[in-house]
Amino acid sequence: MNELVMLHSAIALLCLLLGLHFLLSPQGRPWPLRLAGATYLLYGGQSLLFVLALQQIQLFPAQAMLRPVGAMLLAPLFWCFFQVLQRSDAGLRRRDLWHLIPAVLTLYLLLRGSAFLDYLDLFLLLSYAGYLLAVGVTVSRDPARLASLGDAAPVARRYLQLQGALLGTNLLVEAMLYLELQQGGTVAASSLLLPAAALFLLLHLLTLLFALQRSPLLEWLYQRSQQQPQMQRQEAPSLSARAPVDTVVPLPDEALAPIPDETLAPLPDGSVAADEKLLVVYQRWLELLEQQQLYQLEFGITLAQAARKLQVPARQLSQAVNQCYGASFSVLLNDKRICKAKQLLLQNPPLAVTDVMYHAGFATKSNFHKEFVRVTGKTPGAYRASAAMPPD
């Protein structure tokens, strides 16, 4: 019993820290991080209430009602998180409130002392299984559901799998515990609770470490929440007017060194010094992009990660790319990938289009085809075929 209390106390602390970390992170589009934070706060609250129940501590009369109501919220929160990731504005809709009905109905039954409470554990299992199945089937049948995340879609899918595994573990433990109770066992005497608590603690500890280190597993989440339209001082050039993506002006070694602090001081927009500073940042980024082939990384590279590599503010790098290239940071990366893909398609005809996609740095077929058509006006297969045709 003491070991179980200690494990769940640690889980409660870790989850509360994770929840606050997500909720207090700077954000431009708050709902993805808000839902992640709310989920971990709920996990923490559930563990804390379980500790109080084990210790037979009652702080207020309705305390016993909170755990079943909170349990009914976990699966709907997971579903709502999945939903906002698919939306271009990453926001909630009024129809999402319908998913609160199981929790509200549970509270109603508890207040009324209804006979249906005998089936509450079964309702909880059906809720977990239903939402897990809905997310799994949706993603497997239509991988493009997360296409709005661009190149972050694969790692976002892995994060969803982690959250699904957490909810699935809850489902498994609850199901086995339900069977034990049906056979006359008790919660206190269950042999499942200790190993399950140890597993939950490990999963939450790993997530906290990922969050503190801004691991790629979570970095996409911060970037997704920070995306917001940028104010342009002038109209962006058309695609045909952009600087060629392969143009990299050779720079001396000292240009690749960290920019001195005094150089990073804000300068009046439109000044010659400001334009020259942005050009230096842009050229340094192109140099680094080519030298380390950063656009071919498995999970891509975010604006924040690129800025850290250059040791400049992320806003300054974004402004430099927008002004010098005439498009956003992500468009530049995709243009570099398309250039690589075109090269591979022409120079290596036996190479399958899917292999070209991965070698060029794309993670999903839908994004690869969309970007390839945007740049060339043709699909990858048509582009290779047209290049192989003899001239008239």
- The answer to whether residues 285 and 378 belong to one domain is yes
- The answer to whether residues 220 and 341 belong to one domain is no
Q: How confident is the model at residue 105 (pLDDT cuts 50, 70, 90)?
A: very high
Residue 161 has pLDDT above 70, yes or no: yes
Answer yes or no: pTM beyond 0.85: no
pLDDT in tens, 21-71: 888 876 555 788 889 899 999 999 999 998 898 888 888 888 888 989 999
CA end-to-end distance (rounded Å), the chain: 83
Return the residue matching tokens 């050039």.
237
Q: How confident is the model at residue 245 (pLDDT cuts 50, 70, 90)?
A: very low
Q: What single DSSP character describes residue 233? A: S
Structure tokens at 99: 């998913």
Helix (H) or strand (E) holding 139, with range, is helix 120-141
- The answer to whether residues 218 and 343 belong to one domain is no
- The answer to whether residues 207 and 247 belong to one domain is no
Looking up residue 325, the CATH number of its domain turns out to be: 1.10.10.60
- The answer to whether residues 181 and 294 belong to one domain is no
- The answer to whether residues 263 and 155 belong to one domain is no
SS3 letters for 124-184? HHHHHHHHHHHHHHHHHHCHHHHHHHHHHHHHHHHHHHHHHHHHHHHHHHHHHHHHHHHCC
Q: How confident is the model at residue 142 (pLDDT cuts 50, 70, 90)?
A: confident
Burial class (CB within 10 angstroms; exposed 0-12, middle 13-18, buried 19+) of 234:
exposed
Q: Are 340 and 275 in contact (CB under 8 A)?
A: no
Residue 12 has pLDDT above 70, yes or no: yes
pLDDT of residue 264: 39
277, amino acid identity = K
pLDDT in tens, 226-240: 444 333 333 334 333
- The answer to whether residues 53 and 175 belong to one domain is yes
Residue 258 has pLDDT above 60, yes or no: no
- The answer to whether residues 29 and 178 belong to one domain is yes
236 part of a folded domain: no
pLDDT of residue 253: 44
**Segments forming the whole domain that contains residue 338:** 242-388
Q: How confident is the model at residue 266 (pLDDT cuts 50, 70, 90)?
A: very low
Domain end call among 165, 199, 226: 226
234 part of a folded domain: no
231 part of a folded domain: no
Number of domains in the chain: 2
- The answer to whether residues 115 and 183 belong to one domain is yes
Residue 127 has pLDDT above 80, yes or no: yes
Give the residue with greater pLDDT, 274 vs 283. 283
